[in-house]
Structure 1
Amino acid sequence: MNQTALPIDMDLDDGPLYVAHKKVYPQSVSGTFRRIKWGLMAFCLGVYYLLPFVRWNRGLGAPSQAVLVDIPNSRFYFFFIELWPQEVYYFTGLLIVAAMTLFLMNSVGGRIWCGYLCPQTVWTDLFYAVERLVEGDRRERMRKDAAGGTVKLRRLGEITLKHSIWLLIAWWTGGAWVLYFNDAPTLVKQLATFQAPMLAYIWIGILTATTYVLAGFMREQVCVYMCPWPRIQAALTDEWAVNVTYKYDRGEQRTSLKKANDLRALGETVGDCIDCNQCVAVCPTGIDIRNGAQLGCIQCGLCIDACDTVMKKIGREPRLIGYDNDINIQRRQAGKSEIYRLIRPRTVVYCAMIAAVGGLMLYALLTRTLLDVNVLHDRNPVAVKLSDGSVRNAYTVRLLNKRGFDRVIAIDIDGPPNATVHVVGVDSITRDRPMIVLGRDQTTELRLLVTTPSDNKLEKSSPVKFRVTDIGLGEVASATDNFVTP
């Protein structure tokens, strides 16, 4: 049977795979939320850039930098807190608290982290401020970019100055980061005289490039396409979370100011929105908040300031755009009063988890000992029977002195009756009760021999407790293992 092959159109166009990028020109705005953003930006940048230079006295021989990640010595310093590699669980707890805090912020106020505290938002805001200072506000920048190839000498100077300042900010951002990993004044001097480690220059270069590209060019694309948080928060939010919302129950139907006045004079009902598009002009991601909740909205509140300014000029009530939720819109449409529920099961659970994990970390920090001991039993042989009938077990003991000074410790054991302990290769201060000196801020490994007389009637395996005591401070640490007979 003959079959006729149907022609297949190989040129079917299903549209572009990606949305074409449309450059955003945010307009400057003043108001409550803009002032909040300025204040938080100054605080965050001030902490980031200046914190490495804050000093903290930890005693002779200890680093004096308040916040320091001391990789060569495996230490993390945060003011009066000193963490060792064995205490990595504190970082785990800190990550849990940070995640729960982010969830709590989302359940209360949506993406307020994105709008006010996210590093991408903070540095992008700073780059925008530089751009406005050098090139002018929204309309001027759009006009200059529309000129295209007709670049005059003055325009070339503006572009050069803007990118120079951007690179300077990006360079200092990368430079500030490496200062957290070495003594800041010393490293700054080494960097200035080209004597710093090559690794420092490499990381400064990497972070300079990423800051320059992300804050200067990619900007809102990071928030819309790269960051996973907008997708995650959609699954975490609920109907009671307040978000930046266009109150369409009050704003619709939109019409121009002149037409709205004419319609009102005829007794018709119109909305307060005059379709001025100022909320779109100031948005750093270029969205129209009047279209409802969108992935690109970072909840920065700048559209609220822009709308309030317009409402004030035309003599209408502010907060046509404001922090609200759909429940209140529906209640207003039904003639009911607004209601907010910041305290609800979701927020209570998040607060309880933050308090529980934070409290547990605080308790562990306040009650932790600065003297630690770990014991490892020899496996080959497990036990040795000596010529006089006595039995000996060998152990590897690691002693950890977290204090910034040397101290004398005594080693005692609780276990087999009349057992003696001997420290191999170390001269003890006393014979019957081994006492040794632990160096400051270091780990000391010892080999201990525990011997029990031949007349002891021991089980195959019996517990033995190693107890170390700081003679001067009275601090005690202990570890338990087993004493084995052949």
Structure 2
Amino acid sequence: MHKPPSATIPLHPITDTNGLEGRKIHVRLTEGRFQHLRRLISWPLLAAFFGLVWMQTNGTSWLLFDFPERRILLFGAHFSWYDLHILTGLMITAASLLFFVSMIWGRVWCGFACPQTIWTWIFIRIEHWTEGRAALRQRQEKMPLSGARLARRLLKHTLWLAVALITAVTFTGYFMPIRDLVTQLANANAPATLVGWLVCMTLLTYINTGLVREKICLHACPYSRFQAVMMDDQSLKVSYDSERGEPRGSMKLRNSVQQTKAAVGDCVDCNICVQVCPTGIDIRDGLQAACIDCAACIDACDQVMLKTQRPTGLIRFAAAQEQPQPQRFWRPRLLGYFAVTLIAFSSTGYALVNKKDLVVEIRRDRASLYREFSDGLLCNFYQIKADSFDPGLTQINVSVSGPEGLVLQGPETFLLDNSGEWTAYRVCLTDPAAGVLPITFNFSDQSRIWSRSSSLITSTSYQQR
């Protein structure tokens, strides 16, 4: 059994010497069980991001935020802007689940599934492939940029820009059909606004994950600032066991103190944990806002411990006050997060089952509440607009019910093209009774009926009002 980390974790201010400011960080690649796990999570997410935008069923995209048609397509379901509460519920559910997971395992979302982290590792891999390993890049940093080194540097930035452009095009494909987008770009007839948007998105991706990647997690991401609020002393976080590792000693010092039998900790002060950190921090200084819990330092340190024939786990996921596993999950705030997540999930599921497939708006003509004609008819004037959010619902039949003798004048069939245009209708009645008469507009297809209540204002009722 490993000893738990000290309940009092040392905290040190982040300065330029910690590597977060003032110098470029050259990240050393490492392997290990957590890096394999990270790839098992990130590669399916990448495949979903780049592949989902191309998926269609009967010409309908699986996921598309269709602003011109005022709808959202999600795996065959069509959502209107009247269903925004469902999207809000989905975001609340996701946020609650993030809080719940963070309280147990810390910032595992940041380290294993966050898009910023996933793209950062892609760019680091490209950098390693084009310019060599981290130690070589660091040695060459102050050398003149010429010859083969210049060619490798240009190749790196070219590949970075290519990945950023593909990312920007794919992201834009979730807001307009990707096939139309690619066709416009291939034929060089894309609108200037679209080209400008793609340029901005490409540059943002290139800068965020290529040039200032380690600073985004510390300075731009709000999650790093309020993560401590969601965690407690039983939350698992990447931690350095200072009781076991201190005082540090290199292998040379370790061999010399064996003669004097001086106490030396298990940390051999190799600094590999710092070299593999994508944000450039030293986890041995204690918990820091820039730590994203990617566990690269755990894998690197475990390899050193195995080589020096020491127990692994000098750096590991650990709580400040470790408790038996059953007690860790029975904490009031954790149960509160779970309850909120469950309620949000249930409410969103209920809203999904009962979402609207047809949205109808009826607007009375206020300029002329009623009109009497020579044939004895009294008519009210209406404007009707209907939007379909069911791919199988392309047209509806319109009728009206109410007092005997009620007549509807206007198109009997309503085409649902979601154009947002209003259609004029008249509802007429011969010899109407006094008062405001209730009427019902009925909209139907072959198997369903939707009804909307309204009223018919007669001349007599209008004079009384």
Counterpart for residue 351 of structure 1: 338
Residue equivalent to 1:481:
454
Structure with bigger RCO (C-alpha 8 Å, 6+ apart): 2
Residue aligned with 1:283, SS: coil
Rounded to whole Å, the distance in 2 between the matches of 1:388 and 1:176 is 62
Query: Residues 139 and 450 from structure 1, CA distance in 2 versus in 1: closer, same or farther, beyond 3 angstroms?
Result: same
Match of residue 28 from structure 1: 29
Larger radius of gyration: 1
Give deviations 1:164-212, integer Å, cap 9, x for gaps: 2112111211222222233323432331231333333222211111111
**Offset at residue 348 of structure 1 (A):** 2.7
Question: Which of the numbers 204, 208, 214 marks the counterpart of 2:198?
Answer: 204
1:320 aligns to 2:308 (yes or no): no
Measured against aligned partners, the alpha-carbon deviations of 1:424-462 in whole angstroms (never above 9, x if no partner) come to xx25xxxxxxxx11214436634444455657354xx56
Matched, 1:81 2:77: yes
1:276 aligns to 2:290 (yes or no): no
Verify: 1:468 aligned to 2:442, yes or no: yes
The answer to whether the 8 A contact 1:54-1:66 is kept is yes
User: 1:305 deviation in Å?
Assistant: 0.4
Deviations 1:267-324 (A, max 9, x none): 7654322222111111111111111111111111000001100111111111111111
Q: Is the 1:419–1:450 contact (alpha carbons within 8 Å) kept by the matching residues of 2?
A: no
Counterpart pick for 1:412 among 400, 406, 414: 400
Matched-pair contact (CA < 8 Å) for 2:398–2:414: no
- C-alpha contact 1:264 1:270 (8 A) present in aligned 2: no
Offset at residue 143 of structure 1 (A)? 0.8
Cα deviation for residue 408 of structure 1 reads 4.4
Aligned residue identity for 2:414: L
**Residues of 2 paired with 1:465 and 1:263: CA distance?**
96
Secondary structure of the residue aligned to 2:244 is helix
User: What's the counterpart of residue 247 of structure 1?
Assistant: 241
Shift of 1:410: 4.1
2:43 equivalent to 1:42: yes
Range that drifts further, 92-101 or 273-282: 92-101
Distance 1:201 1:392, change over 3 A: closer
1:287-436 matches, within 5 Å, as 287-328=281-322, 341-382=328-369, 393-403=380-390, 404=392, 406-414=394-402, 417-418=403-404, 420-423=406-409, 426=410, 436=412
Q: Does 1:445 align with 2:422?
A: yes
Show the counterpart of 2:55.
54
RMSD: 3.0
Q: Give me the whole-angstrom Cα distance separating, in 2, the residues matched to 1:50 and 1:186.
A: 16
Task: Provide the rounded CA distance (Å) in 2 between the counterparts of 1:401 and 1:26.
Answer: 52
Contact persistence 1:32–1:305 (CA under 8 A)? yes
SS at 2:382's partner residue? strand
Give the match for residue 118 of structure 1: 114
**CA distance change for structure 1 residues 142 and 196 in 2, over 3 Å: closer, same or farther?**
same
8 Å CA contact 2:301–2:314 kept in 1: the answer is: yes
Amino acid at match of 2:361: N
Shift of 1:394: 3.8
8 Å contact kept, 1:170–1:209: yes
What is the CA deviation profile of residues 350-370 of structure 1, one whole-angstrom value per residue up to 9, with x for unaligned ones? 333333233323322323342
Which residue pairs with 1:431 in the alignment? Answer: none
Q: Paired residues, what number?
A: 440
Is 2:408–2:427's contact at 8 Å kept on the other side of the alignment?
A: yes
8 Å CA contact 2:396, 2:416 repeated in 1: no
TM-superposed CA distance for 1:405, in Å, is 5.1
Are the counterparts in 1 of residues 360 and 385 from structure 2 also a CA contact under 8 Å? yes
Aligned amino acid, residue 349 of structure 1: G
What's the % identity of the aligned pairs? 31
Q: TM-score, normalised by structure 2?
A: 0.84
Q: How big is the shift at 1:75?
A: 2.7
Conservation of the 8 A alpha-carbon contact between 1:373 and 1:468: no
CA 272–33 in structure 1, closer or farther in 2 if over 3 Å, else same = same
CA contact (8 A) 1:383 1:393 kept: yes
CA gap 1:194/1:307 in 2 versus in 1, 3 angstroms:
same
SS at match of 1:82: strand
Cα distance change, pair 78–258 in 1 and its aligned pair in 2 (3 A): same
Q: Is the 8 A contact 2:387 2:416 kept in 1?
A: no
> Structure 1 residues 189 and 386, CA, compared in 2 at 3 Å: closer, same or farther?
closer
Of 27-36 and 357-366, deviating more is 357-366
Contact 2:400-2:406 at 8 Å conserved across structures:
no
Task: Tell me by how many angstroms 1:90 deviates.
Answer: 2.6
Amino acid of the structure 2 residue aligned with 1:36: L
What corresponds to 2:125 in structure 1? 129
Structure 1: which 5+ runs fail to align?
1-14, 58-62, 332-336, 428-435
Q: Which residue type is aligned with residue 396 of structure 1?
A: Q
Equivalent-residue separation in structure 1 for 2:102 and 2:183 (angstroms) = 43
**C-alpha contact (below 8 Å) 1:240/1:327 kept by paired residues:** yes
Query: How far did 1:379 drift?
Result: 3.6
1:167 aligned onto 2:141: no
CA distance in structure 2 between the aligned counterparts of 1:303 and 1:25, rounded to whole angstroms:
14
Contact (CA 8 Å) 2:439, 2:456: kept in 1 or not?
A: no
Q: Indicate the residue corresponding to 1:456 in structure 2.
A: 433
Distance 1:437 1:390 in 2: 23
Change beyond 3 A, Cα 1:319–1:87? same
Partner Cα separation in structure 2 for residue 175 and residue 455 of structure 1: 61
Letter in 2 for 1:470: S
Matches within 5 A, 1:91-102: 91-102=87-98
Equivalent residues of 2:235, 2:319 under 8 A apart: yes
SS at the partner of 1:347? helix
Query: What is the SS of the residue equivalent to 2:26?
Result: coil
* 2:83 and 2:356 in contact (8 A); partners too: no
In structure 2, the CA distance between the partners of 1:421 and 1:166, relative to structure 1 (3 Å rule), is: same
Aligned 8 A contact 2:131 2:152 in 1: yes
